[in-house]
Amino acid sequence: MQPINIIGGGMAGCEVAWQLINAKIPVKLFEMRPQKKTFAHKTSLFAELVCSNSFRSHDHENNAVGLLHWEMREAKSLVIEKAYKHSVPAGSALAVDRDRFAKEISDILRSNPLVTISREEVTDLSIFGHKPVVVATGPLSSEKLVANLVKLTGEKNLAFFDAIAPIVHANSVDMRKAWFQSRYDKGETEEAKQAYLNCSLNRDEYYQFIKKLIEADKTEFKEWEKNTPYFNGCLPIETMAERGRETLRFGPMKPVGLTDPHAPGSKPYAVVQLRHENKFGTLFNIVGFQTKMKHSAQVEVFRHIPALKKAKFARLGGIHKNTFINSPRILNEC
């Protein structure tokens, strides 16, 4: 039997491969990393996630994303099974230990005799002729393949800017000014009720932080990039701050549902939440703090958060362009 060609070793490509090999259909999986890297990926592993919270909510009764998770489990999805296996405390969200998640999926696919892996960049779909091929390269597709897809589909590709949040080492957080608690103590277990590490700011600290955010050096877009929109679900923190000084207090820094044990009897004016990045609890992601600030500015600005005054960063934030095609329109015309 001729193998099905799959371009892209991300979550979509891995799930397609898994479903096909379970039906005893061989696949050839093309993944350009590590020969050709992307801005966001750091390893050559399959299903490497850029954000530990890529799966979002796991509430299948009240959230459409959670319902999709339930449907994937019913379909015996490899991706969702390993996501739950390698989940880390995150309240009602499904966050994962990215390294363990990607490593296990990579090991499973690499060891399956029905999977042939090719570490090369595919730049032209014509090399497959009339053979079946699945394009699952995602928004970080290589420039040459994007150009080929634009030519084939007859339309200009779509794009938006996405941002990445920083990650801090847990032992560099000042626990005299931080505490573990999920908002409104949500969660069925004690671990879930203490899923987030909270860093409070008083009124003066908050407005000083906003001022620093707005004044910080930022990555400038090239002329041809300036009309590209942001993905609203991942706006840079400083872009939100520029929309109004109170914006963050009603967004990622909202203080509701949290009680600072270090200041009994008073409510925090604003709160920065950190979410587990790995199973060991040694790394934490700063929730909602995607940024396009320059790296040196990030260190200076984020250390104005009292509990992060001596923070050490395992990864700083960044911004990158995501490219995609209008798949519904193209498929509807087929």
Mean pLDDT (10-residue bins), the chain, 334 residues: 95 97 98 84 88 80 92 96 93 89 97 97 94 90 88 76 89 97 88 93 97 91 65 83 95 96 93 94 94 94 97 90 79 78
Q: What distance in Å separates the CA atoms of residue 215 and residue 236, rounded to the nearest whole number?
A: 14
Alpha carbon dihedral 26, 67, 105, 278, in 10-degree steps, equals 170
Q: Which two tokens stand for residue 241?
A: 């701050």
Q: Which two tokens stand for residue 211?
A: 């001022």
Convert 114-137 into a string of H (helix), E (strand) and C (coil). Answer: CEEEECCCCCCHHHHCCCCEEECC
Q: Which two tokens stand for residue 330?
A: 């193209």
DSSP lists the bridge partners of residue 218 as 293
Q: What distance in Å separates the CA atoms of residue 93 and residue 57, rounded to the nearest whole number?
A: 4
Say what the pLDDT of residue 102 is.
Answer: 96
Give the position of tokens 């600290």: 205
DSSP lists the bridge partners of residue 27 as 4, 115
Q: What percent of the chain has pLDDT over 90?
A: 66
Strands 196-201 and 318-324: unpaired
Cβ density class 219-230: b for 16+ within 10 Å, e for less: eeeeeeeeeeeb
The pair phi, psi for residue 93, each rounded to 5°, is: -95, 155
**Tens of pLDDT along 106-121?**
999 999 999 999 999 9
Q: What distance in Å separates the CA atoms of residue 317 and residue 252, rounded to the nearest whole number?
A: 16
**Tens of pLDDT along 189-230?**
888 889 999 999 999 999 999 999 999 998 876 665 566 677
Say what the pLDDT of residue 40 is.
Answer: 72
Say what the pLDDT of residue 114 is.
Answer: 98
